[in-house]
Amino acid sequence: MTDPQFVLTERVRRALGAAFGAEFADADPLIRPSQFADFQANVALGLAKRLQRQPREVAQAIAAELADFPGTVEISGPGFLNITLDDGWIAEQAGQLLDDPRAGVGQITPPQTVLIDYSAPNAAKEMHVGHLRTTIVGDSLARIHEHLGNHVVRQNHLGDWGTPFGMLIEHLLDIGEAAAVAQLEAGEGTEFYQAARVKFDAEIAFKRRARARVTTLQAGDPDTMRLWHVFMDATVRYFNKIYSMLGVTLTDDDIAGESMYNPMLATTCDDLQASGVATLSQGALCLFPPGFTGSDDQPLPLIIRKSDGGYGYATTDMAAIRHRVDDVKADRILYIVGADQALHFQMVFAAARQAGWLPETVSAEHVQIGMMLGADGRRFKTRSGESVKLMELLTEAVDRAKAAIAERGYDETTRDEIAHDVGMGAVKYADLSISHDSEYIFDFDRMLKFQGNTGPYMQYATARIRSIFRKGGVDPASATARITPDHPAERALALQLLGFGALVEQTAALAEPHRMCAYLYETASLFSTFYEECPVLRDDVAAETRASRLALCSLTLRVLETGLGLLGVPVPSRM
């Protein structure tokens, strides 16, 4: 592990054990980046009271055990330890990183099975902007976990079952299969649904047919199932166009919709009732996980079978947890779902643990997704108040990217080559750079800027590094000279790069892609300073210095491209 903060943490812990005894060796050294040194350890202040000694005295005892540390340790204030690393140590670690094709990113041992439930559009309607964040965040986490060596199981929990499909199938028959397929493949799922709904509400005969069709669907009638497949296949083909445009890694093999769990629902209810975990309440079968009460202070029910015998989302989610634990053998389950479902998932997880279906050894986490807002600070909608179609939004992103690129003077060929990558990169990075549980305002003008913490800026940063190698006639992979960070800008950049591996692990552990974005932006900013202050190809630069700086450029490029790749942000080779 080349990460300086990790190395310092382990080294200071050894010093704590040596100075105060083995029982202190696991204490958190509280190491943070510092403006007064490379890092600051604040552990002495907390230990002083426990040891009944002055903080500065405690700090002096720790510093004495760090006498052989590759750097300087100074005590400041009431007992802060300011730690500055030796340039030679930084150079040595940077060299090891340069030799590592993974840029310091280790692999988790033993690997975990991580199941990620994300995207999950409703097949009865169009994919809209509400599905953008769940899709992007989930896909980035899937990429990161795979890179760390975990076995990732992607699951796209489509809304592909239930009573609406009775009227949808009947409407399909009314307009003809060919016309229905054409409409669904064109992304007019919402219009299809609305037309079916109008007939359902207005025509008694159609309503009877739709209700009868629900019965045959639930019974698995072959002809009804064939029609259901016609509807679903056309819908999924359209979803795949959006996934392809976004560059996400979901495939048809990852579909695990509500229909998959339908055969398990009756058994789910029967087993929960037989075990005594579920009880009848006003005719409905309910779970009452401990700790959840309503406004009347009465236990809050999680209904798994309605009084009319129907099932709901809770039933499917309970069946899904059981399947994911028992059959998939998941060690960690991530649900990338809107923040408004927080209470539902808290109750589902608690009920699953109460039933013994979710053991303590398995982690189930709701990665809450905040709402996307319009410029007015309200839910992002069209002027008429309807949800914005996702395909229309993505198409507009590409068109706007092309215009933004044109403003920067790029020729038409280059504009056409990179517009898609810039547009998708802008949309995805803008989303991922915000904490996933936060609301954010969708603003094309801001996200398409080539300055600041944006996708185009990050893409341009990597392209600028590649241009250095093109101008120098050097392959980045061949720039393997020893890195000697003699200039402060070189040193700051090298020190930043050493933390990449730990940052990737932290992002996966916390399920927070915005941490990756913040790190990459800081890296790009430090490279910009380096680029301005440390000439690389200029004629008056000594050959040894040039080789060192090219190696530092190569390492920076590898970190930026790896990080953006893990986020799913495309990187054009030229900009």
Inform me whether the pLDDT recorded for 537 exceeds 70. yes
Alpha carbon distances (Å) from 563 to 313, 322, 350, 451: 36, 34, 35, 19
pLDDT attached to residue 388: 80
CB atoms within 10 A of CB 413: 8
DSSP string, 163-213: THHHHHHHHHHHH-HHHHHHHHHTT-HHHHHHHHHHHHHH-HHHHHHHHHH
Average confidence (pLDDT) over 462-470? 96
pLDDT in tens, 91-124: 999 999 999 999 999 999 999 999 999 999 999 8
Helices (H), 433-474: 444-447, 455-472
Average confidence (pLDDT) over 532-557? 96
Average confidence (pLDDT) over 525-552? 96
What's the pTM? 0.93
Inform me whether the pLDDT recorded for 129 exceeds 80. yes
Inform me whether the pLDDT recorded for 386 exceeds 90. no
pLDDT attached to residue 203: 96
Q: What is the largest distance, in Å, between two alpha-carbon atoms of the chain?
A: 88
Inform me whether the pLDDT recorded for 416 exceeds 90. no
Q: Distance between CA 461 and CA 202 in Å, rounded?
A: 58
pLDDT in tens, 58-104: 999 999 999 888 999 999 999 999 999 999 999 999 999 999 999 99
Inform me whether the pLDDT recorded for 4 exceeds 80. yes
pLDDT in tens, 418-458: 999 999 999 999 999 999 999 988 899 999 999 999 999 99
Residue 223 CB-half CA count within 13 A: 5
- The label of the residue with tokens 């209810």 reads 269
- Strands 363-369 and 151-155 turn out to be unpaired
Inform me whether the pLDDT recorded for 542 exceeds 70. yes
Average confidence (pLDDT) over 9-16? 92
* Mean pLDDT over the full length of the chain: 93
pLDDT in tens, 289-319: 999 988 888 899 999 999 988 898 999 999 9
In a 10 Å sphere around its CB, with 0-12 CB exposed, 13-18 middle and 19+ buried, how is residue 184 labelled? buried
pLDDT attached to residue 27: 87
Inform me whether the pLDDT recorded for 339 exceeds 70. yes
In a 10 Å sphere around its CB, with 0-12 CB exposed, 13-18 middle and 19+ buried, how is residue 211 labelled? middle
Provide the 3-class DSSP secondary structure of residue 441.
strand
pLDDT attached to residue 382: 59
CB atoms within 10 A of CB 387: 17
Q: Phi and psi of 354, rounded to 5°?
A: -60, -35
pLDDT attached to residue 383: 59
